[in-house]
């Protein structure tokens, strides 16, 4: 298994993995459209695929989050692993690889809105997200500091346009 940056020629395979993963989990999937919109807006900050025997079986994308403190934050969405290849560490590996690349590129914290029982395995927590003011809150809204201390003070973040969240939306 190889984790590598996504390339334009992967886009169809990525769409298929995202659609299969989210449809299996939630019965529907709009996430491939979100990914298309993020790319079109230049907001695909980091996009990786997991490839096995030349086949894309996993995908992760991070987009920039504007922070009023000037810190550099990123949002994780979406993360997908092909049904049939799940529960074998691919999702964890995609996240851990991405976090190292993001840290090396100067991103100071990452935020996710997702399964509260899943993301803590790579360090995200709702507690770390408490100082983060965003249109989301609660146990599914989690953060991970890539630079120690960056989540110690209040910060307001704004999502990329493709998420369709009006500025100033309350949680
Ligand atoms: C969530 C997802 C990316 C996990 O990928 P994965 O490669 O199976 O994850 P890993 O192999 O790294 O981790 C598997 C572990 O996470 C657990 N896990 C998977 N989905 C979970 C969930 N929704 N809630 C809690 N735990 C979950 C598995 O039970 C497994 O636990 P174990 O190690 O104790 O057996 C994958 O299930 C997926 O694509 N789901 C559909 C799309 C989705 O929900 N994306 C995230 C949106 S928030």
Q: Which atom of ligand 1 lies closest to the CA of 86?
A: 8
69 CA → ligand 1 middle, Å: 32
Residue of 83, 80, 89 lying closest to 121 (CA atoms): 89
Termini Cα distance of the chain: 39
Q: Record the pTM.
A: 0.97
Q: How far is the CA of 91 from the centre of ligand 1 (A)?
A: 7
Concatenating the DSSP letter of every residue in 21-39 gives HHHHHHS---HHHHHHHHH
What's residue 60's pLDDT? 99
pLDDT > 80? residue 70: yes
Residues within 6 Å of ligand 1 by CB: 21-22, 25, 78-81, 86-92, 114-115, 117-118
How does pLDDT run across 151-165, given as a tens digit for each residue?
A: 999 999 999 999 998
Q: Which of 118, 136, 138 to mutate to test the pocket of ligand 1 (most atoms within 8 A of CB)?
A: 118
Query: What is the CA(87)–ligand 1 centre distance, in A?
Result: 6
Cβ-contact 157, 137 below 8 angstroms: no
Ligand 1: centre distance to CA 59 (Å): 13
Residues 47-72: what's their mean pLDDT?
97
Whether 79 contacts 116, CB under 8 Å: no
For the cut 90, the answer to whether the pLDDT of residue 169 exceeds it is: no
Its CATH class, for the domain covering 2-160, is: alpha beta
Mean pLDDT of 73-94: 98
């Amino acid at each position: 298994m190889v984790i590598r940056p996504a390339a334009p020629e992967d886009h169809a395979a990525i769409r298929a993995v995202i659609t299969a993963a989210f449809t299996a989990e939630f019965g529907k999937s709009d996430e491939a459209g979100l990914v298309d919109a993020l790319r079109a807006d230049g907001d695909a900050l980091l996009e990786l695929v997991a490839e096995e025997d030349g086949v894309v079986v996993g995908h992760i994308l991070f987009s920039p989050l504007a922070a009023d403190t000037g810190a550099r934050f990123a949002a994780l969405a979406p993360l997908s692993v092909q049904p049939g290849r799940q529960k074998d560490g691919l999702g964890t590996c995609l996240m851990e690889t991405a976090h190292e690349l993001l840290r090396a590129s100067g991103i100071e914290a990452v935020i996710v809105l997702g399964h509260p029982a899943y993301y803590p395995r790579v360090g995200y927590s709702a507690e770390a997200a408490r100082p983060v003011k965003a249109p989301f809150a609660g146990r599914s809204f989690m953060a991970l500091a890539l630079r120690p201390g960056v989540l110690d003070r209040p910060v307001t973040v704004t999502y990329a346009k493709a998420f369709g969240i009006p500025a100033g939306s309350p949680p």
